Amino acid sequence: MMETFRESSPPNLEFPGAVSPETERPDFLKAELGTFINLDSVLHKRLKRYESDMKRGLPHYLPGMDHVAMEEFLYHGDGKPGTNPIDAWMMSRKQPFSAAAAAQISQWKSAAPGFFQITDVTDSLVSLRRWDVFGGLPMGESFSAISLSINGAAQYRKYVGH
pLDDT digits (tens, 9 = 90+) for 68-111: 788 889 999 988 887 799 999 999 999 999 999 999 999 999 88
Dist CA 24 CA 16 (whole Å): 8
Q: Are strands 137-146 and 116-122 parallel, antiparallel or unpaired?
A: unpaired
Task: Label residue 40 exposed, middle or buried (CB < 10 Å: 0-12, 13-18, 19+).
Answer: middle
Condensed to tens digits (0 to 9), the pLDDT of residues 38-80 reads: 999 999 999 999 888 888 876 667 777 777 788 889 999 988 8
13 — pLDDT class (breaks 50, 70, 90): low
pLDDT value of position 2: 46
Dist CA 86 CA 104 (whole Å): 12
Dist CA 27 CA 24 (whole Å): 9
